[in-house]
Copies of this chain bind each other. A is one copy, B any other.
Amino acid sequence: METTQIRLARRPEGEPDDTTFATATETLPDLEDGQVALAIRYLSLDPYMRGRLSTAKSYADPVEIGQVMVGATVGEVVESRHDGLEVGDHVLSYSGWQSAAVVDGRHVRKLDPSVAPVTTALGVLGMPGFTAYAGLLEIGRPQEGETVVVAAATGPVGSAVGQVAQIKGARAVGIAGGPAKVRALTEEFGFDAALDHRDPDFAAQLAAATPDGVDVYFENVGGAVFDVVRRRLNTYARIPVCGLVANYNATGQPEGPDRMPGLMGQVLTQSLTVRGFIQSEFTASHGRDFARDMGEWVASGRVRYREDVVDGLENAPAAFAGMLRGENFGKLVVRVGG
């Protein structure tokens, strides 16, 4: 059995481009006891992957040059030497940007397509949904009547943040880029208010949409949006920080003025909480609650999600670069092979 792999060819300076990745074909080994062979059906593309292209200090090791790009996948079992997994089963694995893989059966999670589409394991019921759930509830801690603001709000994290905030009795204000996404925020996801950060009038619109200020800003983009939102923060506001995609392609030292003293001054005078996190920190404490709550909310339609499916593994690099520019509309997933 062969696998087509997309490997890291060269670390990008700034945006990933045509020279960043290279395609190769490899023959998979025969199965050992306990292993399964997977035909990958879906590959998840997520902003964190930009960090893996860089050797900058981070919470995870970088992908090495020549190594297959990492990523969460949904695969179909095509051969099994693992008890409890049969040919035809769908499983969540971390097989990366490739079309097939041989993996230890203990390292995959079996999915039930009758409960929810298998792609949700990569989005609303997977890592992005859990990022939203744990970060919002454990760090953001929205209270009844408070205002929660989130950017990249049609994305898998942002859309879940807004909807879970509302379930907890808070007001949800979503920020996105472009009229179609902004419209989806209120019409599709039910946000209380939706704003376009590209609008020249964005700051004034945000002020109007947050008459009582902002109690939680769920930070998953960084950049200019944060600078506008932070002027609306209330005393004791909480800022869970799970991503800064606006900065991920940055090269060199950002130009001044230096905003750090101003930010620290605001942290002090407004008693703000700024807390970075990676969702895995909360797996033990919140994983079970998430599976129960989000499973129910998605099944009942209380939490909606949107997927942006790109066809063909060969299109993963371009789709990934586009995501870093904010071009995806919903959870970005690549449909792989047959």
Contact = CB atoms under 8 A, between A and B. Distances in A.
Interface of A: 51, 57-59, 219, 222-223, 226, 235, 241-244, 247, 250, 253-278, 281
A247 B269 contact: no
Given A57-B269, A243-B268, A260-B262, 16 more contacts: A59-B271, A219-B264, A247-B261, A247-B264, A250-B261, A254-B257, A254-B261, A256-B256, A256-B258, A258-B258, A258-B260, A267-B276, A269-B276, A270-B276, A271-B276, A274-B275
17 contacts: A51-B269, A241-B264, A242-B268, A247-B265, A250-B261, A253-B257, A253-B258, A254-B256, A254-B258, A255-B256, A255-B257, A259-B260, A263-B263, A267-B276, A268-B276, A273-B276, A275-B275
Contacts of A219: 264
A261 B222 contact: yes
Contacts of A277: 271
B255 A268 contact: no
A275 B257 CA distance: 23
A222 B267 CA distance: 12
A188 B276 CA distance: 37
A58 B268 CA distance: 9
Contacts of A255: 256-258
B271 A274 contact: no
A271 B60 CA distance: 12
Nearest to A250: B261
Nearest to A235: B59
A229 B11 CA distance: 30
Given A258-B259, A274-B275, A265 B253 contact: no
A271 B281 CA distance: 9
A61 to B, nearest CB: 12
Q: Most chain-B CB neighbours within 10 Å: which of A226, A255, A265?
A: A265
Contacts of A256: 253-258
A59 B269 contact: yes
Given A255-B257, A256-B256, A260-B258, A275 B267 contact: yes
Contacts of A272: 274-276
